[in-house]
Amino acid sequence: MKVEPGVAVQVVGLSVGWSQEPLLVDLSFEVRRGSIFAILGGSGSGKSTLFRHLIGLEAPLTGRVEIAGVGDPLQARGRPRFGVLFQSSGLLGSWTLGANLELPLRRWTALEPEEREAVVCARLGQVGLCGYQNHLPAELSGGMRKRGGIARALVLDPELVFLDEPGAGLDPVTAAQLDDLILTLNRNLGLTVVLVTHELASIERLVEDCILLDREEKGILARGDPRQLRVESPDPRVRAFFQPETLSTPAVP
Ligand SMILES: Nc1ncnc2c1ncn2[C@@H]1O[C@H](COP(=O)(O)OP(=O)(O)OP(=O)(O)O)[C@@H](O)[C@H]1O
Ligand SMILES: [Mg+2]
């Protein structure tokens, strides 16, 4: 299978799950190059499981994932062509932030130490962490660790990043700043962003295209621009996902 032009990630007939109990059945969708695409859904709907399949950490029951310039991420060997931010930031705790960012450069490039240092500095500058190279992750706030994780995801200059719950656990102001950073990277670098998120505010600010997963359906309940789905979807489950306040309105006695 070849990825269509203008497409960053193509998923065809993907079924995932365990033994007799598939979790998601026959998913097909594509992520457009240069877009900010979200995987949405209630708790337990399979977002993180799908995320792991997209980045090639797990093998599907059937179907496949193709990434432009990478092919099948399960088979991908060699220099990673996409960046990943794991939910916990994924920074190695006993290494300084600078050493964490340098690791992929040591592994995959022939840059000299001072050249690596310059790349690390530039990437940290991009996420507002200039001068924090010598800090350990534990010496940074949650929001700074997330930004550090994003800097590391960008260190090899990918065209595509996968972000798992980037705003989770952050206060609303810090989460909004992180969203601004993601938007800037998308607009200025043309970075394609695939993210898992729960946060309605982030969806509103960032997301132009999404899939909404549903556990009962074992698949995609809705696909498209969340702003449109929220008001135009004929499915009340979809409108309720985007407007949960309508569900919590107390009944008039
Ligand atoms: N390795 C596994 N073996 C069996 N079941 C699993 C495994 N991993 C996840 N599951 C189940 O699959 C379902 C979906 O899990 P997943 O973590 O993908 O959901 P999620 O949408 O990311 O939820 P949340 O929003 O709470 O993070 C859950 O019921 C979970 O228990
Ligand atoms: Mg999850």
Q: Are residues 203 and 235 in the same domain?
A: yes
Number of the ligand 1 atom closest to the C-alpha atom of 46: 18
Residues 62-89: what's their mean pLDDT? 88
Q: How far does CA 191 lie from the centroid of its chain?
A: 12
Residue 89 pLDDT exceeds 80: no
Domain region containing 115: 82-157
Give the end of a domain, one of 138, 157, 176.
Answer: 157
The answer on pLDDT for 250 being more than 70 is no
Same-domain status, 93 and 133: yes
Q: Tell me whether residue 251 is in a domain.
A: no
Are 222 and 201 members of one domain?
Answer: yes
Residue 246 binned pLDDT confidence (cut-offs 50, 70, 90): low
* The residue to which tokens 């960032």 are assigned: 206
Q: Ligand 2: distance of its center to the CA of 117 in Å? A: 34
224 part of a folded domain? yes
Sign of CA dihedral 213, 67, 59, 62: positive
Domain stops at, among 157, 181, 203:
157
- Statement to judge: residues 73 and 198 lie in one domain: yes
Spatial distance between the Cα atoms of 18 and 23, rounded to a whole number of angstroms: 8
Residue ranges around ligand 1 (CB below 6 Å): 18, 23, 41, 43-49
Task: Select from 116, 139, 157 the last residue of a domain.
Answer: 157
Report which bound ligand comes closest to the CA of 40.
1
Residue 94 confidence (pLDDT): 95
Question: What confidence tier does 245 reach under pLDDT thresholds 50, 70, 90?
Answer: low
CB 61 within 8 Å of CB 112: no
Assess whether pLDDT exceeds 60 at residue 249: no
Q: Which of 74-88, 141-155, 236-250 has the highest mean pLDDT?
A: 141-155
Q: Domain check: are 25 and 64 in the same one? A: yes
In a domain, 174, yes or no: no
What token pair was written down for 150? 């994003």
185-221, pLDDT tens digit by residue?
Answer: 999 989 999 999 878 889 999 999 999 999 999 999 9
**pLDDT exceeds 80 at position 33:** yes
The pTM of this model reads: 0.91
Summarize the confidence of residues 115-137 as an average pLDDT.
94
Q: Calculate the average pLDDT of the chain.
A: 90
Q: What percent of the chain has pLDDT over 90?
A: 71
pLDDT digits (tens, 9 = 90+) for 131-173: 999 999 999 998 899 999 999 999 999 999 999 998 888 888 8
Nearest CA residue ID for atom 9, ligand 1: 49
Residues 135 and 12 in one domain: no
Mean local confidence (pLDDT), 96-111: 95
Domain membership flag for residue 126: yes
Give the lowest-confidence range in 33-42, 85-94, 203-212.
85-94
Residue 250 lies inside a defined structural domain of this protein: no
Distance CA 92, CA 101 (A): 10
Ligand nearest to the CA of 22: 1
4 lies in the same domain as 73: yes
SS3 130: coil
Q: Are residues 49 and 4 in the same domain?
A: yes
d(CA 131, ligand 2 centre) in Å: 33
Residues 74 and 196 in one domain: yes
CB neighbours of 63 closer than 8 A, spacing ≥ 6?
Answer: 11, 12, 13, 14, 15, 26, 27, 28
Are 1 and 72 contained in the same domain?
yes
Number of other residues whose CB lies within 10 A of the CB of residue 98: 19
Within a domain: 170: no
Q: Does residue 249 form part of some domain?
A: no
For the chain, how many structural domains are there in total?
2
Mean pLDDT of 21-42: 96
Give 48 Cα–ligand 2 centroid separation in angstroms.
Answer: 4
pLDDT score, position 14? 97
205 shares a domain with 134: no
- In whole angstroms, give the CA distance from residue 22 to residue 163: 24
Atom 16 of ligand 1 has which residue's CA nearest to it?
46
CB 67 within 8 A of CB 9: yes
In a domain, 114, yes or no: yes
- 48, 88, 196, 198: residue to mutate for ligand 1 pocket, most atoms within 8 A of CB: 48
Kindly state whether residues 69 and 86 are assigned to the same domain: no
| Token code pair at residue 16 | 């995932």
